[in-house]
Amino acid sequence: MPEPRYPDHENGGLFAFDKLMKETGNIAGQGAVSVTRAADSTLLIKLSGPWHLTRDVPSGAILRKELESAAVLKGVSFDTSELAKWDSGLIAFLVQTSVACRAHGIDQDRAGLPEGLKRLLELAEAVPEKKGTRSAEVKSPFFERVGKSTLGYGLSVDDFMSFLGELTVAFGKFVRGKARYRRVDLVEVIQECGANAVGIVTLISFLVGVILAFMGAVQLSQFGASIYVADLVCIGMTRDMGAIMTAIIMSGRTGAAFAAKLGTMKVTQEIDAFTTMGVSPMEFLVLPRVIALVLMMPLLCLYADFLGILGGLFVGVGMLGLSVRGYMQETIATLTLTNVFGGLFKATFYGLLIAIAGCLKGFQCGNSSSAVGDAATQAVVLSIVMGVVACGLFAVVFNIIGI
Amino acid sequence: MATNATTPSNSQNNQPHIIVKNLTMAYGSFVLMRDINFTVRHGDIFIIMGGSGCGKSTLLRHLIGLKEPATGEIIYGDINFTRADPATRELMLRRFGILYQSGALWSSLTLAENVGLPLGEFTDLTPSQIREIAALKLALVGLSGFEDFYPNEISGGMQKRAGLARAMALDPEILFFDEPSAGLDPISSSLLDELILELRDSLGATIVIVTHELASIFAIGNNCVFLDADSRVQIASGDPNGLLANSQDPRVRKFLTRGKEKGEGLGQHG
């Protein structure tokens, strides 16, 4: 019987593994364990066959059963004369055995074990388990959890409000020309969330116009009122859809980018560096972003309104047989400045919300790369939720004041 | 390796520069360290050391005002930093230079802009003067010619040196280093040590370093505080070479000798 040995890496990692797989494939049978009780109330554990993680290895339950069923045991010893190759599977089994033995105050005689195995076992037991490091999964009662998360929401409102306060102070400084920021940064952010967003806004708003037109056409053409598709698209786009669709695009595109950028700066301590340099990150990082988005959102919204109407025209002329001239006349007759400016006002407000949500979540980011991803996700969710809620409130308020 | 670590050339020698009194650091209700007391003199190279996770970096964050003490206070010269109002604090912060663990260079700015930003914010220099000074500071850390590189275009060691150039931008009175040699090869790390000594001697700055790099500790440190993660208190302070020679505390000895020492007869470092 050759000396059982730990699978080594003589031939280099990959090949050794390959070889190991072949060898274990060739060896018949699998690891087995049997116990015999000697006269002097010791237990002989006989280990045989190949013990490999790639095959099934016996679990430590055998020993536990033996411990529970039998009368007093004084010690255990091992017989490995029929043990073939072994790996961590065997070590894990022996560690379990060892834990069980210690729990019951049983001596272990490890003389029967191979030398390498003994050393690895000693290594595994060299540093005792540190108490209290395993976080216990304590399931708290339902009401406690409800209470805690309610308080958590309260705190997040707190954070939001103090962020808003700091932003207001920074904006006050900006108005008085005292804010510290770089004009270049402002211009760059304006380009990023203005000009660079035109492409996607074009695509989405045109399609929203097309969809609105189709939705209207199904009903309106039934009683020969297809021309009113123009009214529907025009009012729909200018009043609400232009603003809210732009907001949704921008929260996914720019809000997430703000959160990821600021979150990464938090992780790399760049924000700390601003703070300790005496430069307010609020003025230097947040202010340009908020101003840029607030400036760009109404422009993008106006553009989206136009593209939406174009989409409606495309459907009206192409599918419903309306004339370009007729469609345009109907649109112009319906178009009111109140609706357009209402939409632009909403868009500006959504822009503010998106920028705040993005920057706030970026600042609250934790200290790891996964936290940056979470921050971006939360920024998008928060800005879309706030945007849609605001949209609903606007609808009610506009209705009450008769716009 | 640099020598003569224990002879600061500063004329204000032995005047306390930083005094930490009964500082307790906590995250919420979790107390990380309690009752920390130490004094850093002018011109000291002060080492904050201890095992991983004992709160060295957190102590540094307290010293530079990024985190508020649970109790206790931090005093710079004769101004109480902990009790100071925000405006005073901002003025005090400008007298600090901080090298963060990761360098923390602003990634959207070139090296010259990184170094020049504090100059532009807090001085009346013209842009061309700022550029000249930024180039000078970069040259001091051996990075001349790299003014227009962005932080992601240079190596980790260079980023660290650039971070040091930025920390020195306003000729600070106190320089803080968070693990300066982390991620540096032994040669870069010993060059950085020499640079730190040189800065202390030429600028007369007081230097506070968080590190567990033994070679650096013995080579440049002349005062230290040792934090112990298990007992959550400081268990030693003073000259690290003196601690190695005289400390009776087994935890301190184990740390300073990499756990190798069994009895006596060591102490040939530095």
B85 and B20 share a domain?
yes
Q: Which of A1-5, A152-156, B25-29 has the lowest mean pLDDT?
A: A1-5
How far does the CA of residue B193 sit from the closest CA of chain A (Å)? 22
B235 and B218 share a domain?
yes
Q: Which of B128, B156, B171 corresponds to the end of one domain? A: B171
B180 and B87 share a domain?
yes
pLDDT at residue B126 greater than cutoff 60: yes
> What is the average per-residue pLDDT within A293-319?
95
* Residue B44, number of CB atoms within 10 A of its CB: 26
> What is the average per-residue pLDDT within B193-217?
88
Contacts of residue B197, Cβ cutoff 8 Å, sequence gap at least 6: B2, B5, B45, B220
Measure the CA–CA gap between A254 and A294, rounded to whole angstroms: 12
Q: Name the one residue in this structure whose structure tokens are 């972003």.
A: A289
Question: Does A277 contact B at CB distance below 8 Å?
Answer: yes
B22 and B156 share a domain?
no
Confidence grade of residue B248 (pLDDT, cut at 50, 70, 90): confident
Q: Which of B118, B142, B171 corresponds to the end of one domain? A: B171
CATH number at residue B229: 3.40.50.300
The verdict on residue B262 lying in a domain is: no
B163 and B182 share a domain?
no
Nearest to B206 by CA among B168, B173, B169: B173
Measure the CA–CA gap between A161 and A182, rounded to whole angstroms: 26
Is A278's CB within 8 Å of B94's CB? yes
Of B100, B105, B121, the CB nearest to A272: B100
pLDDT at B181: 83
Contact B192, B1 (CB under 8 A): no
Contact A371, A268 (CB under 8 A): no
> What is the average per-residue pLDDT within B209-236?
87
Question: Does A66 contact B at CB distance below 8 Å?
Answer: no
Question: Is A386 buried (19+), middle (13-18) or exposed (0-12) by CB count in 10 A?
Answer: buried
Is B108's CB within 8 Å of A185's CB? yes
How far does the CA of residue B102 sit from the closest CA of chain A (Å)? 6
B131 and B35 share a domain?
no
Residue A130 per-residue DSSP state: P
Measure the CA–CA gap between A245 and A302, rounded to whole angstroms: 12
Which domains does chain A show, CATH number per domain? 13-126 (3.30.750.24), 164-400 (no CATH)
**What whole-number percentage of chain A has pLDDT above 90?**
53
Q: Which domain holds residue B165?
A: 106-171
Q: Which of B114, B140, B171 corresponds to the end of one domain? A: B171
The verdict on residue B114 lying in a domain is: yes
pLDDT at residue A382 greater than cutoff 60: yes
pLDDT at B5: 43
The verdict on residue B2 lying in a domain is: no
B135 and B123 share a domain?
yes
Instruction: Tell how far CA A110 is from the center of its chain.
Output: 49
Contact B122, B96 (CB under 8 A): no
Helices (H) and strands (E) counted in chain B, each on its own, are 9, 10
The verdict on residue B137 lying in a domain is: yes
B28 and B67 share a domain?
yes
The verdict on residue B7 lying in a domain is: no
The verdict on residue B269 lying in a domain is: no
**Which chain B residue has its CA at the smallest distance from A185's CA?**
B108
Is A11 or A51 the better-scoring residue by pLDDT? Answer: A51
B129 and B237 share a domain?
no
The verdict on residue B8 lying in a domain is: no
Question: What does the pLDDT look like over B42-91, one tens digit per residue?
Answer: 989 999 988 887 888 889 999 998 889 999 999 998 889 989 998 888 88
Number of structural domains (chain B) is: 2
How far does the CA of residue B163 sit from the closest CA of chain A (Å)? 10
pLDDT at A137: 62
Reported ipTM? 0.81
pLDDT at A37: 76
pLDDT at A131: 61
B185 and B252 share a domain?
yes
The verdict on residue B4 lying in a domain is: no
Rounded to whole angstroms, the maximal C-alpha distance in chain B is: 62
pLDDT at B10: 44
The alpha carbons of chain B give a radius of gyration, in whole angstroms, of 19
The SS3 of residue B51 is coil
pLDDT at B236: 86
Question: What does the pLDDT look like over A10-50, one tens digit per residue?
Answer: 444 445 555 555 555 555 567 777 777 776 777 888 888 88
Residues of chain B contacting residue A272, judged by C-beta atoms under 8 Å apart: 66, 100, 104
To probe the interface with B, which of A130, A182, A277, A372 has the most B CB atoms within 10 Å?
Answer: A277
Measure the CA–CA gap between A362 and A366, rounded to whole angstroms: 9
Q: Which of A83-87, A178-182, B17-21 has the lowest mean pLDDT?
A: A83-87
pLDDT at residue B150 greater than cutoff 80: yes
B203 and B248 share a domain?
yes
B87 and B26 share a domain?
yes
